[in-house]
Structure 1
Amino acid sequence: MAGYDDRDGFIWMDGKLVEWRQANVHILTHALHYASSVFEGERCYNGKIFKSSEHSARLLRSGEMLDMPIPYTVEQINAAKEEVLKANGLTDAYIRAIAYRGAGDEMGVASLNNPVRLAVACWTWGAYYGDAKMKGAKLDIAKWKRPSPETIPCEAKASGLYMICTMAKHAAQAKGCSDAMMFDYRGYVAEATGANIFFVKDGEVHTPAPDCILNGITRQTVIGMLRDMQIKVHERHIEAHELAGFEQCWLTGTAAEVTPVGQIGEYTFEVGDITRRVATEYEALVRA
């Protein structure tokens, strides 16, 4: 496909559908210089956006945490997503809603007088990790750590928080890996660069407590599924040495969906029964 700036179609911007190639912002847009932006990634399956309202509500909460009130309601954001899907003729798509401080009266760190903008785009996007969804992704171990919640608004899906994720993923790809697993500031297992992580041991599931990472909507969905399956889930701090004892591993996220992991650094995992069952049932749920 063409680059993301050179495609046919429409993007919703501040209440209007704009031709794709004309959906631009000024070079002095505050968000470009100071990362004053929040976003959501969502998927539409068979014409239905999975957990659309939950994503829209989180977008608004993220804006509030960045002192950036977004001037739309959940219902208006939901309607914008439906409008852009219809305009582009898509029923199976990835959707990106982004709110950001635009260009305005201020161009320093402070930006209260600059307007908050909202845009929604959608496009077709297959498996985030390609064929790793079948055979298991290979992960590097990142040198960057997720920071303390005293230093960042870790519950916000804020663009600036992904800077170290980009660097970690670039380093992983240079080693032939699909992604990287990150530790947190205390040395506990945290997450991948854009997905939450789960492990299996002796028929039970272990996943990092979301006390300094984003508590993903897909993560919460999968935990609910596991409990419905009567599989015990431990949300806790996971130490590095425990990786050697886990039997299975997978990632969750809107883009990642449920992706098995076959290797993290020197540690290997099987794509076992629980992993396959979760992936299958998640696929059925989102297409129900």
Structure 2
Amino acid sequence: MMSYDDRDGKIWMDGKLVEWRDAKVHVLTHALHYASSVFEGERCYNGKIFRGVEHSARLKRSANLLDFDIPFSVEEIEAAKYAMLKANGWTDAYVRAVAWRGAGEDMGVSAKRNPVRLAVAGWEWGNYYGDAKMKGAKLDIAKWRRPDPATIPCEAKAAGLYMICTMSKHAAEAKGCSDAMMFDYRGYVAEATGANIFFVKNGEVHTPLPDCFLNGLTRQTVITMLNERGITVHERHIMPEELEGFEQCWLTGTAAEVTPVGQIGDYTFEVGALTREISEGYETLVRS
């Protein structure tokens, strides 16, 4: 595997395309010290970024929730993404837009005088969970919980909110798992480290209410797909003891797409017909 800082190609930074290896920031960048950074993960299929405009709009909203403004419009961010894809010759790729407070006059908690920067990169990426896309991912149960929304801007896709996700995923991988499922601060089932979660019981779908974690765009897409198929969807608080009664499970996210889950801790699930139907339907939708 090539290191992400040592590749051929182009990255869009602050209004222009630069050589991949020249896309650098200073060690005193505010975001490196105080997590003043937001990002988006998107996928381009057959030359079109799925729900790209909505991702760009969310990026700007996330920045506002962290008390800074991105100095580019949604339209300019969209143009930057496609310019980056064209410069690298990609029609199918993962796209990463990231905005942050850079190095400037301030180097403390406050950073009002520091410039806000924006970069758009991308790479060719297959299944996020590898062969789990077919046989079902194995999930650990994380010890860390999604925080109370009174303590974090939970509607922002902010870099700092992923610290406990990284630790949880590392712990899961050490146990031979693909990922970890997290509870929220109240003890309800929440999400995986970078994906929302769905369950099936008696032909109906249950998914945690996103009142303290990100309501993913892929999650929203899948709920629409289920509604169009006449399948009842319950968005609600789910208790841990309910895991034993669910028959199927899957994860959703831009990187994860729709990935079946075969096991969470000691609980097992079948990769059933509805899971496969939604996974295949999503693949068709994003490439249409």
Q: Same fold (TM over 0.5)?
A: yes
Question: What aligned pairs does 1:191-230 form with structure 2 within 5 A after superposition?
Answer: 191-230=191-230
Q: State the match for 1:117 in structure 2.
A: 117
Q: State the match for 2:164 in structure 1.
A: 164
SS of residue in 1 equivalent to 2:160? helix
Q: State the match for 1:19 in structure 2.
A: 19
Question: What aligned pairs does 1:247-262 form with structure 2 within 5 A after superposition?
Answer: 247-262=247-262
SS of residue in 2 equivalent to 1:107? coil
1 CA distance for matches of 2:220 and 2:93? 21
1:86-132 deviation per Cα after TM superposition (whole angstroms, max 9, x unaligned): 00000000000000000000000000110100000010000000000
2 CA distance for matches of 1:99 and 1:229? 38
Q: State the match for 1:185 in structure 2.
A: 185
Q: State the match for 2:2 in structure 1.
A: 2
Q: State the match for 1:280 in structure 2.
A: 280
Q: State the match for 1:69 in structure 2.
A: 69
SS of residue in 1 equivalent to 2:60? helix
Q: State the match for 2:41 in structure 1.
A: 41
Deviation at 1:2, TM superposition (A): 1.1
Q: State the match for 2:132 in structure 1.
A: 132
2 CA distance for matches of 1:68 and 1:102? 11
Letter in 2 for 1:259: T
TM-score (norm 2): 1.00
SS of residue in 1 equivalent to 2:190? strand
2 CA distance for matches of 1:194 and 1:100? 20
Letter in 1 for 2:240: A
1 CA distance for matches of 2:89 and 2:8? 11
Matched, 1:231 2:231: yes
Letter in 1 for 2:265: G
TM-score (norm 1): 1.00
SS of residue in 1 equivalent to 2:106? coil
2 CA distance for matches of 1:2 and 1:208? 37
Deviation at 1:224, TM superposition (A): 0.3
Provide the identity percentage. Answer: 77
Letter in 2 for 1:126: G
2 CA distance for matches of 1:160 and 1:147? 12
1 CA distance for matches of 2:75 and 2:16? 16
Deviation at 1:184, TM superposition (A): 0.1
Letter in 2 for 1:107: M
Letter in 1 for 2:271: V
Which residues of structure 2 form unaligned runs of 5+? none
Letter in 1 for 2:214: L
Root-mean-square deviation (CA, aligned residues, Å) is 0.4
Letter in 2 for 1:82: Y
1 CA distance for matches of 2:95 and 2:3? 17
Deviation at 1:68, TM superposition (A): 1.0
SS of residue in 1 equivalent to 2:25? coil
